[in-house]
Amino acid sequence: MTEQSDDELPPGIPDWLRVSFIDGLPFYVVLKDLQGKFTYVNKRLANRLGLPADELVGKTDFDLFPHELAEKYRDDDRRVLQSDQATTEIEDNDAGTDSRLVKVRKSPIRNPQGKVVGIEVVFWDVTEHQMAEAQLVQERFLLHTILNNLPDFIYFKDTESRFLRVSRAHADRLGLATPSDAIGTHDSEYFPQEYAAAAREDELKLIRTGQNILGREEHAIWPDGSETWVATTKLPLRDEDGQIVGTFGISRDISELKSTAESLERAKQAAEAANRAKSEFVANLSHEIRTPMNAIIGMAELLVRAGLDDLRTQQAKTILESGESLLNLLNDILDFSRIESGRVELDPVPGDVAECARGTIRMLSVRADEKSIQLDCEVAPDLPKLILADFVRLRQILVNLIGNALKFTSQGQVTLSVAPVPSDEAPRDDTEVCIRFAVSDSGIGIPADKLNVIFEEFEQADKSTTRRFGGTGLGLAITARLVRLMGGQIDVQSQVGRGSMFSFALTFPVIDSAGSGQSGEDASATSAQAARPRRPLRILLAEDGVTNQMVATMMLSDLGHDVAVALDGRQAVELSANETFDLILMDVEMPEMDGLEATRLIRERERGTDTHLPIIAMTAHAMATDEQRCLDAGMDAYIAKPIRQDIVFETIERLLHGD
Strand partners, 436: 419, 505
Domain architecture of the chain: domains with CATH: 15-125 (3.30.450.20), 143-253 (3.30.450.20), 345-527 (3.30.565.10), 538-657 (3.40.50.2300)
Strand partners, 538: 562
User: Closest Cα to residue 287, out of 279, 503, 456?
Assistant: 279
> Rounded CA gap, 562 and 178, in Å?
95
Taking residue 375's Cβ as centre, other Cβ atoms within 10 Å add up to: 22
Residues 6+ apart with CB under 8 A from 254: 217, 229, 230, 231
Distances (CA, A) of 253 to 145, 170, 182, 195, 259: 19, 11, 20, 16, 11
Distances (CA, A) of 378 to 86, 247, 537: 112, 78, 41
Taking residue 348's Cβ as centre, other Cβ atoms within 10 Å add up to: 15
pLDDT at residue 344, rounded to an integer: 63
Distances (CA, A) of 449 to 152, 430, 458, 471, 644: 56, 41, 17, 20, 41
Residues 379, 516 contacting (CB under 8 angstroms): yes
Residues in the chain: 659
Distances (CA, A) of 587 to 134, 599, 630: 88, 10, 10
Residues 360, 398 contacting (CB under 8 angstroms): yes
> Rounded CA gap, 595 and 603, in Å?
12
Residues 496, 410 contacting (CB under 8 angstroms): no
pLDDT at residue 548, rounded to an integer: 82
> Rounded CA gap, 71 and 75, in Å?
6
What values do phi and psi take at 116, rounded to 5? -75, 120
pLDDT at residue 343, rounded to an integer: 60
pLDDT at residue 337, rounded to an integer: 65
Task: With H, G, I as helix, E, B as strand and everything else as coil, classify residue 650.
Answer: helix
Residues 40, 29 contacting (CB under 8 angstroms): yes
What values do phi and psi take at 563, rounded to 5? -120, 130
Query: Which residues in 124-154 are b (16+ Cβ under 10 Å) and which e?
Result: ebbeeeeeeeeeeeeeeeeeeeebeeeebbb
> Rounded CA gap, 178 and 185, in Å?
13
Residues 6+ apart with CB under 8 A from 220: 191, 195, 227, 228, 229, 230, 251
Q: What letter does residue 422 receive in the DSSP assignment?
A: P
What values do phi and psi take at 506, rounded to 5? -130, 145
Residues 229, 258 contacting (CB under 8 angstroms): yes
**Mean pLDDT of successive 10-residue stretches along the chain, which has 659 residues:** 46 56 80 93 88 92 90 92 89 64 90 90 87 85 88 94 94 94 94 93 93 91 92 93 93 91 89 76 70 77 80 79 69 65 73 89 83 92 89 86 88 93 68 92 85 62 44 70 89 88 92 56 37 79 87 86 93 94 92 92 93 90 73 90 82 81
Concatenating the DSSP letter of every residue in 313-361 gives HHHHHHHHHHHHHHHHHHHHHHHHHHHHTT------EEE-HHHHHHHHH
pTM of the model: 0.43
pLDDT at residue 180, rounded to an integer: 93
What values do phi and psi take at 493, rounded to 5? -130, 135
